[in-house]
Chain A
């Protein structure tokens, strides 16, 4: 009895929807905090900070567990949501000829399924653009590289001259000259001609993001994105959609878990509205700001 009660019943679906939804809200906070580094620090320092952060996120075992929980939550939330939408559609085979739902419920609350579907489309494209390229694809991924112009003297004439030096940033925090190294397995840096791993480089995710939102990062090895404006618009609209989804979803999750009391429910609602505005807004600022500084 308990098995079916906690998995299949209409109320159990609410619990799962609520728990996965709240976990995804936590994920949003973490993801936002990480991504805000893209706009808080500029120059080599900002690039370095973000790429180091990305390396940490990809290699820390605790983060790995959280990432799998996030994937599972997204999938579960989506499947559960689709099942709910189908069952709910079936519960009213003949629609009302005249209906006035705005008299008793909010637009967001009535459109969670369609908003969720739009978010799922966004997640799919977002992951194809970044997650897939950085994590899954076997294509060669450009590494964090720094270009320096150093004063040198010409070995033949002894005259001073300017020389361009390219350096890889390594995970030990040093910069090593590119021309002395060979890249293997995407990020392993080997001494040229010697089968000896010297260091590990950072994937240049910072430049991937900036190239995607309009910056010219061809020197770093990323093609120029002609559709950058479209990408920015798509991201901003998607964040608007997510805001609507959260507007209802955040406080709804607490109600589903049975947390409703005159003393704290108004607070939860206010916090939910604040969350629904602030988080998507801050997310949306990132592509806008990157695009404007190209």
Chain B
């Protein structure tokens, strides 16, 4: 496919800092290669802004290959843009047409305060992980080989699918309630399915859900938006599993 160049209009959320009041600002950007990625397009915009002595747009990015979970961006009303199963860094400008207006906003959630422009603070996810998203292993040098424990293939596959979550927060961003249940469901599931995770399963689900509630995320109403927008295809089955785990844990809690 031949490279073409398009001219676009961008409507981008600009906000100086966490306390400042932000607003949507309009920019025009010419000669954008359709082969460039969405983030390269933003790099191009920032070069233009710097040349004009203007403040560049702050946005999160790191690996640029869809695995780190750093990039975010709510593009034209959808988390990570119009494609499904991709992160923003995997989105290419060939998905857009000459003359398009593209809306770019940060994840909107009370639990993800905006640091600057399109950058949000997702440390709420870290605190949820710290509340129980781990297994306690004795690392004194006599650690048991994980592969020595037989695990049914189907369980291993499901745990692996849940562990594919990169914690980007697209589920929270697309949920009309700003709920983090797909993220927490995936993190609970990846351990709940494996023997190593069973030891702390009860405390894990109770503590992670409690932390999730404290962070100010909304409640899940099963709209299923998270599952559709998740770049890693995490299924709603993980939320159901968390609901089961939680019910058992809460009923048996000391």
Contacts and interface: CB of A to CB of B under 8 A. Distances in A.
Contacts of B108: 92, 94-96
Contacts of A12: 250
Contacts, number: 153
B7 to A, nearest CB: 20
Given A88-B221, A258-B243, A260-B240, A100 B78 contact: yes
Contact of A255 (B213, B239, B246): B239
Interface string A264-281: 000000000000000000
Interface of A: 1-2, 5-6, 9-15, 84, 87-88, 90-101, 103-106, 109-110, 112, 248, 252, 255-262
Identify the 5 closest CB pairs spanning chains A and B, nearest first: A100-B77, A91-B218, A258-B244, A260-B240, A91-B178
Contact of B77 (A91, A101, A106): A101
Contacts of B251: 2, 6
A5 B237 contact: no
A112 B225 CA distance: 15
Interface of B: 11, 13, 24, 74, 76-78, 82, 103, 105, 108-111, 174, 176-179, 181, 206, 209-210, 212-213, 216-225, 228-229, 236-237, 239-247, 249-254
Max chain B CB contacts within 10 Å: which of A98, A103, A109?
A98
Contact of A92 (B109, B219, B222, B245): B109
Contact of B243 (A91, A103, A256): A256
A257 to B, nearest CB: 7
A259 B244 CA distance: 8
B219 A10 contact: yes
Given A11-B209, A261-B237, 15 more contacts: A1-B253, A5-B250, A10-B181, A10-B217, A15-B247, A84-B219, A90-B218, A92-B177, A92-B178, A96-B77, A98-B11, A98-B76, A101-B176, A104-B229, A105-B224
B240 A98 contact: no
Contact of B78 (A94, A97, A103, A112): A103
A240 B243 CA distance: 31
A104 B250 contact: no
A203 B244 CA distance: 48
A228 to B, nearest CB: 37
Contact of B218 (A2, A11, A87, A261): A87
26 contacts: A10-B220, A13-B219, A14-B243, A84-B219, A84-B221, A88-B179, A91-B216, A91-B217, A92-B176, A93-B110, A94-B108, A95-B108, A96-B77, A98-B103, A99-B77, A100-B77, A101-B77, A103-B82, A106-B223, A109-B223, A112-B221, A255-B222, A255-B240, A256-B243, A258-B241, A262-B237
B109 A2 contact: no
Contacts of A94: 108
Contacts of A261: 237
A260 B109 CA distance: 27
A262 B105 CA distance: 35
B76 A88 contact: no
Contact of A14 (B212, B219, B250): B219
Given A91-B109, A91-B111, A2 B250 contact: yes
A270 to B, nearest CB: 16
Given A1-B253, A10-B219, A104-B229, A260 B237 contact: yes
Nearest to A12: B250
A4 to B, nearest CB: 8
B93 to A, nearest CB: 18
Contacts of A257: 243-244, 247
A103 B228 contact: yes
Max chain A CB contacts within 10 Å: which of B11, B222, B242?
B222
Contacts of B253: 1-2, 5
A92 B247 contact: no
Contact of A258 (B209, B210, B247): B247
A252 B243 CA distance: 12
